[in-house]
Amino acid sequence: MSSLKEKVINLPDTPGVYIFKDAGGEIIYVGKAKSLKKRVYSYFSKYLTSKAQAMVSKVADIEYKLCQTESLALLLEASLIHKFKPRYNVSLRDDKSYPLVKITNEDFPTVCITRKRAADGSQYFGPYTSAGLLREALRIIRKYFPYRSCERMPQEARMYRNIGLAPSLKEENKREYIKTVKNICLILEGKSETLIKKLSSEMITKSKEQKFEEAAKIRDQIEALSVMSESAGHYSRKEELEDLKNLLGMEELPERIEAFDISNIYGKEATGSMVSFYKGMPDKDNYRKFRIKTVERIDDYKMMAEVVNRRYAGSLAEELPLPDLILIDGGKSHLLVADKELEKIGLKIPLVSIAKDRENIYTRDNKQPINLHRDTPALNLIRRARDEAHRFAVSYHHLLRRKRTIGK
């Protein structure tokens, strides 16, 4: 019990979800809290109900997941209870008076709160322990994933306006709205990380198709999800950093990562990008874009050399903090080019590259690439930084091409 009390003492005083496990590693209870430290500490006080005492006597380990707000912790709590069905949460699962989220079976489904399940073809999520917190969580979701919440269908034009769709594209509207509702279902199921991967792929596609407004909207959704899923996100980002540290044999966590990419479609208006990630999250204040100045023909390697040199040998060297890790979008040859530039400057910063096709990871010291499973935490982080660098480079490249066309 003393080791458990040590864990409790070290819990953060922030919102989140706590998970009690027994000696066999089975999850026996999941709860949410406005303050993890205060809530979990209360289980080790003298004044407990007999049921709580019986549960605490079986607790052998405690895990937790941080959340941005208590309302978002509520969503994660319900999804974990649904997934693991802990035996001490059984009263919540069986009590019909708790609020649920209902998504109706219509062309333009309604998302609303109810306290009754019905065999009406609707989808139900929950139950949740607080209607107030649930409404707050749905308001956050609706800001980035607009949905219809009224029970009566409003005038068609007004409905389209409310959910951000064009009145003239009825069939396309329906497809887009259903996609939004499916994304909301993933959030309610506690699968925000899955949704982030899906949206990241869509964002890259939209950028390549020069649909920049749509790409920017998806980017905002991804950023919102990263905050909303802080519960799993903070935990998984720390896991990603730890995994990447171990993979590369680093002494410290690579908290600050800078990722580089080149965009040179047909060799015109070639650009480079550098994005910065801090503790697994985009640090946009430290993003930088480069218009290629010294390379006239299509030559990715010389362009990469120019961008790396300008970042670490030019004025930016004094303006920006140095990263713990540099990530290059490309194969072994791209890595060697970047390494040569760093050597000229006199910097020995850990450096890796990621190949586009098989997503192999290359390092300075290994002749053979590192092949990682597609869901490896380290690869997830590398992929996220690579995709953001690519999006940033392509968007700047297209901006320059548009300016060039307008100027003719």
Domain termination site, one of 68, 85, 102: 85
- Tell me the one-letter amino acid at 347: L
Cα–Cα distance, 190 to 235 (Å, whole number): 14
Looking at the DSSP bridge assignments, the partners of residue 61 are 21
Sorted by sequence, the CB contacts under 8 Å of residue 332 that are 6+ apart come out as 353, 362, 369
User: 340: exposed, middle or buried (C-beta count within 10 Å: 0-12, 13-18, 19+)?
Assistant: middle
> How much of the chain exceeds pLDDT 70, in percent?
85
| First CA to last CA distance, the chain | 75
Domain termination site, one of 67, 85, 103: 85
> pLDDT at position 232, please?
47
The answer as to whether 325 is a domain residue is: yes
Domain termination site, one of 36, 64, 85: 85
The answer as to whether 383 is a domain residue is: yes
Residue at token pair 């034009």: 157
Q: What is the tally of structural domains in the chain?
A: 2
Residue 324 sits in which domain range? Answer: 250-407
Helix (H) or strand (E) segment spanning residue 175: helix 170-188
**In a 3-state reduction of DSSP, which class is residue 157?**
helix
The answer as to whether 129 is a domain residue is: no
Sorted by sequence, the CB contacts under 8 Å of residue 344 that are 6+ apart come out as 309, 313
The answer as to whether 64 is a domain residue is: yes
The answer as to whether 8 is a domain residue is: yes
Could you write out the DSSP letters of every residue in 112-127? EEES---SSS-EEE--
> pLDDT at position 400, please?
61
Residue at token pair 């991967």: 197
For 35-67, the three-class secondary structure string (H helix, E strand, C coil) is: CHHHHHHHCCCCCCCHHHHHHHCCCCEEEEEEC
The answer as to whether 230 is a domain residue is: no
CATH of the domain at 305: 3.30.420.340
Helix (H) or strand (E) segment spanning residue 238: helix 230-248
Low-confidence stretches of the chain (pLDDT < 70) are: 1-2, 46, 91-96, 150-170, 227, 229-236, 265-269, 374-375, 396-408
User: Residue 335: how many CA atoms within 13 Å on its side-chain side?
Assistant: 21
> pLDDT at position 320, please?
93
For the four alpha carbons of 132, 133, 137 and 140, in that order, the dihedral sign comes to positive
Residue 211 phi, psi (nearest 5): -95, 75
The answer as to whether 99 is a domain residue is: no
Sorted by sequence, the CB contacts under 8 Å of residue 306 that are 6+ apart come out as 272, 290, 292, 293, 294, 295
Cα–Cα distance, 202 to 273 (Å, whole number): 20
CATH of the domain at 21: 3.40.1440.10
> pLDDT at position 168, please?
47
The answer as to whether 40 is a domain residue is: yes
Cα–Cα distance, 343 to 114 (Å, whole number): 63
Looking at the DSSP bridge assignments, the partners of residue 223 are none
Cα–Cα distance, 384 to 204 (Å, whole number): 11
